[in-house]
Amino acid sequence: MSGTVLVTGGTGYIGGEVIGQLLAKGYTVHTTVRNKAKSEPGLRERWSDADDHLKVFQADLQSDEGWAEANAGCEGVIHVASPIPINAPKNEDELIVPAREGTLRALRFASDAGAKRFVQTSSMAAIAYGRDDKVYTVDESDWTDVNHPDVYAYVKSKTIAERAAREWVDATGTDMEFVSVNPSMVLGPVYSGDFSASVELVKQLLDGSMPMAPDLGFAVVDTRDIADLHVRCLEEPGLAGERFMAAGRFMKALEIGEVLRNGLPEKQARKVPTRRMPGWMVSVLALFNPGVKQIKAELGKTRNADSSHAKERLGWKTRAEEETILDCAKSLIEHGVVKV
């Protein structure tokens, strides 16, 4: 397979993996970064043999500058770039506005350039949140209720951005086919000390900053498998309007910690917590820590995800969650993010 594809957010956790898989299949890849002078050397080092098959463009989600050049000659676009913070923003619009406007900007320039397929990296956050139930299962037919009091800024931003994208496609009547991929918590190997906020849980379990594990969990999925699903969505014909849940098994923090203790040498896993944090302690921490406050409503919930549609329609497969977690941990240690 060959052709030219734009991948937005090339320095990101998922974006980088998508670029690597596309280059391996013979594509020419354009990618956008916020600061070309700062980011291009690292991208060139990671794919040192890519030469002219990798072209880097400077473009920001909140500005038109650079987007036309980045899209020129691209048959497809995989739009990964979106803000994802480690800490809660002071104002939710710090996330919502760039996520929504950046997605609409990427759509508009892709359509204007004649792209045939647009794959958006959305999120399970756009599907599974805003419910009072403690245990439930979701699939692509579900949508997060952004008006629910427990829905925080990041979840709102992903939901609003995907809805805005679908509304734009319907309203404009563009010939460009739109598909979304909705991953759960993405783990797997990191390639530098600059990593996604989704990896923060594993980092904190390893480095001792989480001496007890809150009653919190996520469906786990591997970044390599997510990238593979994006490429399948780019290549498979007849996917206009499709939506693909991309998730593995739901795992509580304490269960992820058990995988780390069982799979790593004792020295590397010695700080991993073995006890659950009492709910009252989380409530106290939430008074002083905005990040804890925004996840307080997550405690005790089990959000299972049904990814059978992606597996049946696209032949998508996921590796074992244990492999994903351990590869993530080993790479954090290798890159010096976690000192052991």
The residues that are catalytic are 158
Q: How many CB atoms lie within 10 A of CB 292?
A: 17
Cα separation, 314 vs 317, whole angstroms: 9
CB 173 within 8 A of CB 237: no
Reduce the DSSP state of residue 121 to 3 states and report it: strand
CB 13 within 8 A of CB 25: no
Exposed/middle/buried for residue 296 (C-beta within 10 Å: 0-12, 13-18, 19+): middle
Sheet holding 177-183, edge to edge: 54-58, 28-33, 4-8, 76-79, 117-121, 177-183, 243-246
The torsion angle over the Cα atoms of residues 233, 236, 241 and 245, rounded to 10 degrees, is: -40
Half-sphere exposure of residue 39: CA atoms within 13 angstroms, side-chain side = 17
- Entry field: residues in the chain: 340
Q: Phi and psi dihedrals of 151, rounded to 5?
A: -85, 120
Cα separation, 323 vs 223, whole angstroms: 12
